[in-house]
Amino acid sequence: MIAAAEYEYRIPNNENDSMPNSLHFSRRTLLAGMAAAAGASTVKSMAAEREQSGSAVQSGRRDVIVVGAGVFGAWTAWHLLKSGRKVLLLDAWGPAHARASSGGESRISRTVYGRDEIYTRFAWESLDEWRWLSGRSGLPIFHPTGVVFFFGRREPYVEQSIEVHRRLGIPLDVLDRPALAKRFPQIAWDGVELGFFERYRGILMARRAVQTLVQEFVAAGGEYRQAAIVPPKPDASFDSIRTAAGESLSASRFVFACGPWLPKVFPQILGQRIFPTRQEVFFFAPEAGDNRFLPAHLPGWADFNDGDIYYGMPDLEGRGVKVAHDLHGAPIDPDVGDRTPSPQAIADVREFMKRRMPALANRPLVESRVCQYENSSNGDFLLDRHPQWENVVLVGAGSGHGFKHGPAVGRYVAALVNGTNKTIEPRFSLQSKAAQQRRDVH
Ligand SMILES: Cc1cc2nc3c(=O)[nH]c(=O)nc-3n(C[C@H](O)[C@H](O)[C@H](O)COP(=O)(O)OP(=O)(O)OC[C@H]3O[C@@H](n4cnc5c(N)ncnc54)[C@H](O)[C@@H]3O)c2cc1C
């Protein structure tokens, strides 16, 4: 066990704290199977690579079609383009549209994952590219608010998170209750023993991020089209796909990053392995002049509560303070599922706020969304080849925590497609996806 003091970091004085070089640790410590996948991803090298790939895609036939322009498909298309491939990216309704899992307002980017080091790495490795994308956009995509996760007791998840961050050299502030109360007085800390403050992490503007990335992809020579792909028939070979309008589109390789629609596109192999669940999020307006909920004072946060997690975000860009219960909701069909918020869910988060953010408990609800998690059986991603078609890669099962990992997932999948990574991480394999839900990754 590591004592908090051994691994305690000074709370940063915000702006004056410079970014640690360890942000670039990823290039030294990539998983062996991913090493080949990892192109250098600093802002500078990205620009240089983009120039090279721009000239490489001018000629020749289409190499790869990526179906699905959510966060996973868009980053996959981007990394394939950077590697010199001629890429077509398709989406039935548009990048990060209203029903897509990536279509929400905001997503937390944290590295705390208990013992699940692979996600700590992915999240950390992705930060550089999120910052780069944020710099490309007129409005911020990454808000470096930090993230605070807090716990009723020093449970194994806490120890495991500390150990993983120590091992990887990623900063993690461990705060006891008095320190939390001093720094974040807008939260009621009853029953909390300790928390983590994750510097340099923060909040991603989800819809804006994906739409900006697709613009960048097109500007760099990628092709984007709005088209719905009909589920492929189990033919002997796979060299083209068909749109709902009857057009046949051919390429050498295909990526299906269809999020919660994957079970519909591949009903035989994924119908019982990806479970879309209905998730409700709410935004509450603080009182005029109550600045405690602005991003300068409130980071992204999650009340871990023995795995029954509530989470939220500050009042970003005037949308209101976001609060949601992370508990998996009822099954939902992403096409036709009812997206009207339920009175029960609103009552649930108001009850939570009474306990934790009493100043918000009776404030007006200004916005709500019903989205879906596309869960695997245990919360691990699906990043694997199709069992029948070697040239088809299946990408999805973000399981309610996928967004932040978009850049790393895209790099990993591009390497699979390019054949520079031939080894599937067992946790991402199709084989590991069971038909029974037993959530394990938080
Ligand atoms: C309420 C909520 C809160 C979340 N909070 C967080 C968070 O704080 N942090 C975090 O990291 N993650 C979070 N997530 C998870 C994250 O948003 C998802 O894991 C991620 O967005 C999934 O992206 P995707 O690209 O796999 O799927 P999607 O974004 O759904 O993209 C799939 C795309 O495929 C397209 N498509 C499907 N079928 C076809 C077809 N046949 N032809 C053409 N196109 C097709 C769809 O139109 C869609 O645009 C949250 C999710 C939800 C719902």
Q: What is the 3-state secondary structure (H, E, C) of 146-159?
A: CEEEEECCCCHHHH
pLDDT at 307: 82
Instruction: Please return the burial class of 5, using the count of CB atoms within 10 Å of its CB with bins 0-12, 13-18 and 19+.
Output: exposed
pLDDT at 30 over 70: no
Atom from ligand 1 closest to the CA of residue 68: 34
321-363 pLDDT, tens digit per residue, is: 999 999 999 999 999 999 999 999 999 999 999 999 999 999 9
| 306 band by pLDDT with thresholds 50, 70 and 90 | confident
Max distance between CA atoms of the chain, in angstroms, equals: 65
Three-state DSSP state, 47: helix
Strand partners, 28: none
For the chain, what's the residue count?
A: 442
pLDDT at 235 over 70: yes
Residue of 126, 403, 441 best suited for mutating to test ligand 1, as the one with most atoms within 8 Å of CB: 403
* Residue 248, H or E segment: strand 248-250
Which residue's CA lies nearest to atom 35 of ligand 1?
Answer: 68
Distance CA 122, CA 294 (A): 28
pLDDT at 209 over 70: yes
Mean pLDDT of the chain: 89
> Which residues have C-beta atoms less than 6 Å from ligand 1?
67-73, 90-93, 97, 100-102, 104, 107-108, 228-229, 257-261, 265, 279, 281, 371-373, 396, 398, 400-404
Say how many Å lie between the CA of residue 108 and the centre of ligand 1.
14
107-165 pLDDT, tens digit per residue, is: 999 999 999 999 999 999 999 999 999 999 999 999 999 999 999 999 999 999 999 99
Residue of 67, 71, 76, 101 best suited for mutating to test ligand 1, as the one with most atoms within 8 Å of CB: 101
pLDDT at 186 over 90: yes
Domains, the chain, ordered by start: 32-143+205-274+376-442 (3.50.50.60)
pLDDT at 74 over 80: yes
Average pLDDT over residues 263-282: 97
365-396 pLDDT, tens digit per residue, is: 999 999 999 999 999 999 999 999 999 999 99
